[in-house]
Structure 1
Amino acid sequence: MAKLILIDGSSYLYRAFHALPPLSNAHGEPTGALFGVVNMLRATLKAKPDYLAFVSDAPGPTFRDTLYAQYKANRPPMPDDLRAQVEPMLAIVGALGFPILRVPGVEADDVIGTLAVQAQALGIEVLVSTSDKDMAQLVSPHVTLVNTMSNTVMDSAGVMEKFGVRPEQIIDFLALTGDTVDNVPGVPKCGPKTAAKWLAEYHTLDGVIANADKIGGKIGESLREALPRLPLSRELVTIKIDVPLEFGPTDLAQRDADTAQLRELYARYEFKAALKDLDSAEQATGIVEQQAGEARAVEPAVLSGPVAVIDAALSAPGDYELVTTQAQVNAWLERLHRAELIAFDTETTSIDAMRADIVGISFAVEAGKACYIPLGHDYPGVPNQLDRDEVLRALKPIFEDPARPKLGQHAKYDINILSNYGIVVQGLKHDSMLESYVWNATATRHDMDSLAKKYLGYETIRYEQVAGKGARQISFSQVDLDTACRYAAEDADITLRLHLALWPKLDSVPALRKVYEEIEIPLVPVLAAMEQRGVLIDGDVLRRQSQQLGKRMLELQQQAHAVAGHEFNLDSPKQLQAVLFDELGLQAKLKTPTGQPSTNEEALEAIADTHELPRLILDYRSLAKLRSTYTDKLSSIVNPRTGRVHTSYHQGSVATGRISSSDPNLQNIPVRTEEGRRIRQAFIAPPGWQVLAADYSQIELRIMAHLSGDEGLLRAFHSGGDVHRATAAEVFGVPPEDITTNQRRAAKAINFGLMYGMSAFGLARQLGVDRGEASDYMGRYFSRYPGVRAFMDATREQAHRDGYVETIFGRRLYLENLTSRNQGLRQGAERAAVNAPMQGSAADIIKRAMIAVAAWLKGRDDAHMLMQVHDELVFEVRADAIDEVRAAVVERMSGAAELAVPLLVDVGVGANWDEAH
């Protein structure tokens, strides 16, 4: 993932000025603050970000001065010694190649906030280099705060640890405590602990305001006296995330440094270490690109936290060979034949394996040594290359030998690439991505760059460093051979090194080793075969559905206009905000980070029962999403070579072990709406074939019965009847035949809700009853199914004791926030702990079923497994083989686990997926 570093220049200048002694140069010019900032900037450059910017306050008033004339009125003027260092600082920043951002009318915080939000939307990781506590409101899974002066990093957990509130509560926290430095009025005598306590209990500032009369003592009086000022305080401390900018995150690449000016500035201000680094850089043979075999220093992870190096030998530079002659090929073929384990990796023209051409292939058979065989580079003046087909023909017996163990990093992609050239890879023994995923799914991302940094302390060459980025990015086939060799051979080498670091960990825990060897690794070729086969799509059906969706969207648009009394843009949050909250006067339940009424899906759902317009908007958005994501898009991604749509399945992305998919995302096709179900009609079988869909029945509830051992729940499943009706009979104390529709619905909500940690409040909201009645339902449930409560309590205890819970098969599911001081976060982690064994076991079971079914299908040409969606497998079966395949699929899916209750499978057959479902 690309990285953007945003430096809060104003914050660091003041921080450095007050933190460092009053240094000066031989001319008597002050240099203390300048020295601190320059060191911070040099550390930032060593982190090699993809994009970066130095953001400083522009001269003149801002919109906050207009809102509140006393804003920052108490701040003393900038000391003369500090003011004298501003211009030299900006000169050095510019000479280093940093883009300098100063936007009139707003503060540096607002520019940083806007860029951070924009970068997240582009999939860019953001590090905000600051010491300003207000910035904590920007923290998210992809935005982290870094203080390079104290060498500390603050993520969501760090925000909670420091302030006692979540990042999304920081704005309200600051509004309550106020800020004496910026002269933001808060609640007198309300300190951080009091603010955190109130927000833990009432969640938001609006919640605190609404319950102000319940807070006693003098602090309660202070709160009630401050109520009129709190909305203004919230607005003053809210960082804007929508500043109109003439540039975006991807415009912030570092420019070439002006070494002559840097030398002059460093010499003038007597920065000897910086001068020495500048001299060393100029003397080096290559600053950005390094020669093959040259050592690459691993910089301290100033901006990303410490790195634990497991073995120094695994962090050393590699020795890589560019293979361009037949003699070299023959020598490597001999090495591959002798190797105990072959690490391999392919370089291609696209990340879409079904459309990509191979450019080259790399191998490693011992750590630190690897080769790259170029097969398809096509830049002007490229040296003569080996014949691609001849090399692949020579490698084919090695790849297809099941007795010759192989290793990859996300090997499924490489297997698919080689399948395009008639090579069926067999003998996959290890995958470093899956080793990391099984060892600890939540410890890190499982891409090579992240794994190398975490487990090896090694900084890999990034793809952007060899191929560029953005509009100027070139295909790997256009990368020169020497550069390509350094990058590609490193991939094979690091894959092997990662295996050497991770395999001993897995091998030391028999249960995890079993999950890895018996579930994850055997699943790789199964998923690869499914991706290669693809699914047939009826474009005419999709076109008709797009037209119908468009017509229905227009109708909803007209209804919304009629309800509002005038036309407005349903896709404009600003216009929708005005209609709902200004014109109709609806009470907003959720706010945006800037304190404005939110119009996102959650916010509209919260007010959907108060007026008909929010529901119309939700229905309109649902149809718009179906149209843009599926009915308009699916036909455009049909592979011209195969005539089919090929999704990508991901094993290492969901912590519980679930498989996900993308391009298209098959898991998100709705099944609860008629429009969503109709999309499945476009997934068809070819003439003479049919679609067969096999779906586990209530699998997570059955796993709950198995894990809890509750006699009542086991009895309900063994009876073979309607388990929700049986539960309702137990809860309401009436015969099953007398259970009403509402009683069954309540029992179903409890059965499924408990697995996700639903509270009485949540159940009440779902059933439309008061909280007391919902609490009574749950109490009756637990009295009839005491084993369920005992299981839930024991699971929570295990989670707190071990930091993880386990599936039936031994997969570990680590949980954050179990020890959080925040009750909401802690309870959320406990709810996840209860659900994870069910969801994770269900994931393991369907993976085992896929492996068993694929083994049975091997060699057959009358049936193919096409899709896996949640608890369902979808097949394409020749009409004359339906009965045989149905029986075999049911047998293997039912036998994928031995539970204390029957594992039932529902099967349907039809001309399309909807008919079969």
Structure 2
Amino acid sequence: MSIIKKDLFILVDGSYYLYRAYHAFPLLTNSLGKPTGAIYGVINILRSLIIQYQPSNIAVLFDDKGKTFRDKLFAKYKANRLSMPDNLCKQIMPLYEIIIAMGLPLLVISGVEADDVIGTLAIQAGKIGIPVLISTVDKDMAQLVTNNIKLINTMSNAIIGPTDVIDKYGIQPKLIIDLFALMGDRTDSIPGIPGVGKKTALALLKGIGNLETIYNNLSAISSLKLRGSKILLKKIIEYKDIAFLSYKLATINTNVNLDTNYDELIIKETDTKKLYKIFSFYEFKSWLNDLKNGIWLTKKINKSFISISNNMNSTYLTSSINLISIKNSIRSFLIENYQIILEKNHLIEWMKKLQSAKSFVFEIETDSNDTLSTNLIGLYFAIEEWQAAYIPLKYDCLNFAKQLKLNEVLDIIKPVLVDDKIQKIGKNTKFNYSVMKNYDIILKNMAFDIRLESYILNSIAGFGGHDIASLAKLYFNSENVTLKKIINKNYEKPSLLFSNSTSKKTNSYIKEDVKITLLIHNILWPQIEAKPKLKNIFQQIEIPLVPVLAKMEQIGVLIDKNKLAKQSQEISNRLIKIEKLAYIVAEQKFNLFSPKELQFILFKKLQLPVIEKTSCGLPSTNEIVLEYLSNSHELPNIILQYRRLSKLKSTYIDKLPMMINLKTKRIHTSYHQTVTSTGRLSSRNPNLQNIPIRTKEGRRIRQAFIAREGYKILSADYSQIELRILAHFSKDQRLLNAFAEGQDIHSVTAADIFNIFLKDVTNEQRRTAKAINFGLIYGMSSFGLSRQLKISLNKAKFYIDCYFKRYPGILSYMEFIRKKAAKKGYVETLEGRRLYLPDINSNNTIKRKASEREAINASMQGTAADIIKRAMISLDKWIETVTPNLYMLIQVHDELVFEVKKSALIQSQQKIRQLMEQSVQLAVNLKVDIGVGDNWDEAH
């Protein structure tokens, strides 16, 4: 699609890109803590547009913050949109300053939206034959498209003309407004007709005509043979006013009275001094260099990938964003350099390519997600030269005359996969490792995993997650093809996908998956390489941990289902008794799980005080409320007991036996490295880390975790590791001395707080001191402590004040962490893992205080996570030399659980303690408590 650049008029939807950039770079700040992500993203887009298209005229348009005519038409217009975040508000005026200093016309017109101004200017220029490009991805803008007015999405470099609108939306541009009038638009809170979705709306528009034509020919609806046409007709008649209101709301006003026109919107001379001043303040160092060299708006942007920096204390980005080049590469990659391998000689040729490559993408397709029972149905590869290959196995949807045999393929590719000199890139390397191990192939040098790369750079994942679909959406605004999109919704297994879908859809999925993996790696890895501490964590902790976790998952743990069955029956009997007791206390029968019935009894019948309300304005009956109310009445405590026992029974006691693998007779959890924000591991299916240990019932569940014949369960637990880390970080001499002398830290704290001799500390006083010690690590306030210990607020405050008088180094450290977090936007672990705090400078006091408490806890919890991960890696290396005497089974925060041969117990205890205690060197020694038993509870 050719564009005459000398007469080109570009209109930029600044408001859309403002939010897009903010969410893509949510935590970028300069060294003073000033947010810069939105500024960086928007300016880079503008710069790329100008350099790429060299327009003669341009305008950048933003919405005014005031009301518009649409708000007067419909009070709920855009009601679904959240208020602008504080960190985004702070970037608007500096952004405007930069745009103006660049010599670009900036328009913010009150009373109308930026869309209306864009529409007015586009129509003006289009009528006199000036080619117009509207830079946006707002679907509403499609109504403006003509032969002279086209849309461009800078994220994909796609230019959309009239035929493209038809291809994308199924209708011509002039019917886009009618489409939204019928189906509504949730983004802008345009109501539309209830029950009319896109499919129905398109059928009406294609079968009858525009909105007005539909209402003039209502009898034609029945002829379309739509499901529920009678009900549809009633709704269309009933909601006629709403449909035409929606039409007005969706219509872009192309007749806005403006004080400027197309001819005046030209690029003026750049105010270099102004830009230099702003770029210096915000630390846009690469842009400063371009200004100095006189290439700010003329520099050719090369085909290197974006270096989207997550260096949150500086917005220095080492190379320019060029999504256009990336998309061009993708297009070439998909069309020209993708090969489906069906012949042995072709496979051998590809293996030669991989053998000579420094790194390559390796991914697999399987018929299920269960690594113990799944089957390979495809393998694919990609290398840096944008070449990719797919080897189909065991499915017939591609209509190929023949496919290579699985064993033949594995024999040929095995040498490459086990070659520890060639780096492998993946999107879920743990899964790949486990599956290939089933085929006697131990993957070596799994050097890169895009999930882990993303997680290391920013563990918060506010953009959605670290999976490939979320990353594709973030970096390319691409709805990455997924299995769910091409499989019939009635099917669940990928094997059914590959045997029931078309070859076109299957190929689309394969190609999308492999190229996006490589692209994302090329974006993320340079950022990690630029930060030595993060690179070290990635290479020395996260990647080496992958095969360790894979082995633990495959080993699993033995469960005594008979014990659980007995526990289930006992708890069932207890629940019946508790339920009857609740009826007696409430003086009536009611559903103990019904919030509505409980609200009536607690707050109407018993007249207990309302502590909190739900989002609907009703009295809350959550756990915190019930705990508070249990101080004044018996019933809330009975409800709490019932809920907790019921949850324990349904979540673990009854569920665990159903999760026993029929083949191994063991339970196999799945460990995840990219879920928590602090670096801790999480487990799922089942979640072994949430089995409660503070209650007798929770500990009894652990009794069902047993050892095989001739073995014992061994539990190794870091003793008070976070307090030891606190001593290391704070350098508080009193705390350091207590640990150096081997004293019980909680008793020491109790003696200090209650001003008594250590020998006189009671169990109750020690319990109070323990709550204070751990509470302060978790940022607990005096209110939180008073609630936990069930004491007055004044007494809780007194305890905390006493604590900090005795441990001044801890108070100083906490103040230091708060200030550092506020300045940088993150805290660090001992290893240098960054834990970001988006609300640390929020104007909302509640959010800011919560973030400050999180800052104190995060660095210690994150450091503890790094320590046990290093220990697991060391232990795995040693276990490899003593198998089958020892197996590492479970990780729960600071605890590791092993299955140890009875004859190897003494040696194992010594070595496990040694490796765990020597994981890192702190200012105080690490201590590991070890227990042995026939089950997990006995050992802990």
TM-score exceeds 0.5: yes
Q: Counterparts in 2 of 1:555-704, with a 5 A limit? A: 555-704=577-726
* 1:11, distance to aligned residue in structure 2 (A): 5.9
Q: Counterparts in 2 of 1:870-885, with a 5 A limit? A: 870-885=893-908
Aligned residue for 2:666, secondary structure, equals coil
* 1:353, distance to aligned residue in structure 2 (A): 2.4
Q: Counterparts in 2 of 1:735-814, with a 5 A limit? A: 735-814=757-836
* 1:329, distance to aligned residue in structure 2 (A): 1.6
Aligned residue for 2:202, secondary structure, equals coil
Match of 1:721 in 2: 743
- Distance, in Å, in 1 between the alignment partners of 2:177 and 2:573 is 55
Question: 1:412-437 deviations in whole A, cap 9, x for unaligned?
Answer: 11111212222221211111111111
- Distance, in Å, in 2 between the alignment partners of 1:862 and 1:480 is 50
Question: 1:714-750 deviations in whole A, cap 9, x for unaligned?
Answer: 1111111211111122222221001233322222121
Classify 1:395/1:609 alpha carbon distance in 2 versus 1 (closer, same or farther; 3 Å). same
* 1:482, distance to aligned residue in structure 2 (A): 3.7
Identity among equivalent positions (%) equals 42
Q: Counterparts in 2 of 1:289-308, with a 5 A limit? A: none
Counterpart residue type for residue 737 of structure 1 = K
- Distance, in Å, in 2 between the alignment partners of 1:467 and 1:447 is 19
1:528 to 543, 546, 550: 550
Is 1:817 matched with 2:817?
Answer: no
- Distance, in Å, in 2 between the alignment partners of 1:470 and 1:253 is 21
* 1:692, distance to aligned residue in structure 2 (A): 0.8
Classify 1:352/1:608 alpha carbon distance in 2 versus 1 (closer, same or farther; 3 Å). farther
* 1:648, distance to aligned residue in structure 2 (A): 0.6
Q: Counterparts in 2 of 1:361-376, with a 5 A limit? A: 361-366=379-384, 368-376=386-394
* 1:457, distance to aligned residue in structure 2 (A): 4.7
1:857 to 856, 862, 879: 879
* 1:343, distance to aligned residue in structure 2 (A): 0.9
Q: Counterparts in 2 of 1:326-365, with a 5 A limit? A: 326-365=344-383
- Distance, in Å, in 2 between the alignment partners of 1:382 and 1:885 is 55
Contact kept? 2:678, 2:861, Cα under 8 Å: yes
* 1:255, distance to aligned residue in structure 2 (A): 5.5
Match of 2:340 in 1: 322
Q: Counterparts in 2 of 1:448-467, with a 5 A limit? A: 448-467=468-487
Contact kept? 2:348, 2:412, Cα under 8 Å: no
* 1:459, distance to aligned residue in structure 2 (A): 3.9
Match of 1:313 in 2: 325
Counterpart residue type for residue 767 of structure 1 = L
Contact kept? 1:348, 1:476, Cα under 8 Å: no
Q: Counterparts in 2 of 1:412-427, with a 5 A limit? A: 412-427=430-445
1:409 to 427, 431, 435: 427
Q: Counterparts in 2 of 1:167-316, with a 5 A limit? A: 254=199, 257-258=202-203, 261=206, 264-265=209-210, 309=321, 311-316=323-328
Question: 1:827-870 deviations in whole A, cap 9, x for unaligned?
Answer: 11111111111000000000000001001111421111111011
Aligned residue for 2:516, secondary structure, equals helix
- Distance, in Å, in 1 between the alignment partners of 2:181 and 2:548 is 48
- Distance, in Å, in 1 between the alignment partners of 2:856 and 2:205 is 62
Aligned residue for 1:497, secondary structure, equals helix
Match of 2:140 in 1: 39
Contact kept? 1:355, 1:639, Cα under 8 Å: no
Counterpart residue type for residue 348 of structure 2 = N
Counterpart residue type for residue 452 of structure 1 = A
Aligned residue for 1:761, secondary structure, equals helix
Counterpart residue type for residue 461 of structure 1 = V
Match of 2:314 in 1: none
- Distance, in Å, in 1 between the alignment partners of 2:828 and 2:413 is 41
Counterpart residue type for residue 872 of structure 1 = E
Classify 1:11/1:376 alpha carbon distance in 2 versus 1 (closer, same or farther; 3 Å). farther
* 1:496, distance to aligned residue in structure 2 (A): 1.8
2:451 to 414, 433, 436: 433
- Distance, in Å, in 2 between the alignment partners of 1:490 and 1:663 is 29
Contact kept? 2:717, 2:930, Cα under 8 Å: yes
Contact kept? 1:647, 1:663, Cα under 8 Å: yes
Is 1:129 matched with 2:192?
Answer: no
Aligned residue for 1:595, secondary structure, equals coil
Classify 1:690/1:391 alpha carbon distance in 2 versus 1 (closer, same or farther; 3 Å). same
* 1:13, distance to aligned residue in structure 2 (A): 7.3
Contact kept? 2:707, 2:899, Cα under 8 Å: yes
Aligned residue for 2:210, secondary structure, equals helix
Structure 1 spans left out of the alignment, 5+ residues: 1-6, 24-35, 48-87, 102-126, 136-245, 275-307
Classify 1:702/1:577 alpha carbon distance in 2 versus 1 (closer, same or farther; 3 Å). same
C-alpha RMSD of matched pairs (Å)? 3.7
Aligned residue for 2:447, secondary structure, equals strand
- Distance, in Å, in 2 between the alignment partners of 1:735 and 1:586 is 43
Contact kept? 2:178, 2:211, Cα under 8 Å: no
- Distance, in Å, in 1 between the alignment partners of 2:933 and 2:143 is 64
Is 1:897 matched with 2:917?
Answer: no
* 1:676, distance to aligned residue in structure 2 (A): 0.6
Deviates more, 1:477-486 or 1:357-366: 477-486
- Distance, in Å, in 1 between the alignment partners of 2:641 and 2:77 is 51
Match of 1:837 in 2: 859
Counterpart residue type for residue 390 of structure 1 = E
- Distance, in Å, in 2 between the alignment partners of 1:312 and 1:615 is 62
Match of 1:477 in 2: 498
Contact kept? 2:827, 2:834, Cα under 8 Å: yes
TM-score between both structures, scaled by the size of structure 2: 0.68
- Distance, in Å, in 2 between the alignment partners of 1:368 and 1:267 is 51
Counterpart residue type for residue 480 of structure 1 = T
Contact kept? 2:179, 2:205, Cα under 8 Å: no
- Distance, in Å, in 2 between the alignment partners of 1:778 and 1:398 is 60
Aligned residue for 2:756, secondary structure, equals coil
Contact kept? 2:397, 2:503, Cα under 8 Å: no
- Distance, in Å, in 2 between the alignment partners of 1:764 and 1:431 is 45
Aligned residue for 1:695, secondary structure, equals strand
- Distance, in Å, in 2 between the alignment partners of 1:759 and 1:542 is 39
Contact kept? 2:488, 2:497, Cα under 8 Å: no
* 1:131, distance to aligned residue in structure 2 (A): 5.8
- Distance, in Å, in 1 between the alignment partners of 2:934 and 2:781 is 42
Contact kept? 1:432, 1:498, Cα under 8 Å: yes
- Distance, in Å, in 2 between the alignment partners of 1:487 and 1:438 is 27
Match of 1:509 in 2: 531
Contact kept? 1:342, 1:364, Cα under 8 Å: yes
- Distance, in Å, in 1 between the alignment partners of 2:375 and 2:498 is 9
TM-score between both structures, scaled by the size of structure 1: 0.69
Counterpart residue type for residue 518 of structure 1 = Q
- Distance, in Å, in 1 between the alignment partners of 2:376 and 2:180 is 37
Match of 1:291 in 2: none
Question: 1:539-562 deviations in whole A, cap 9, x for unaligned?
Answer: 111111111111111111111111
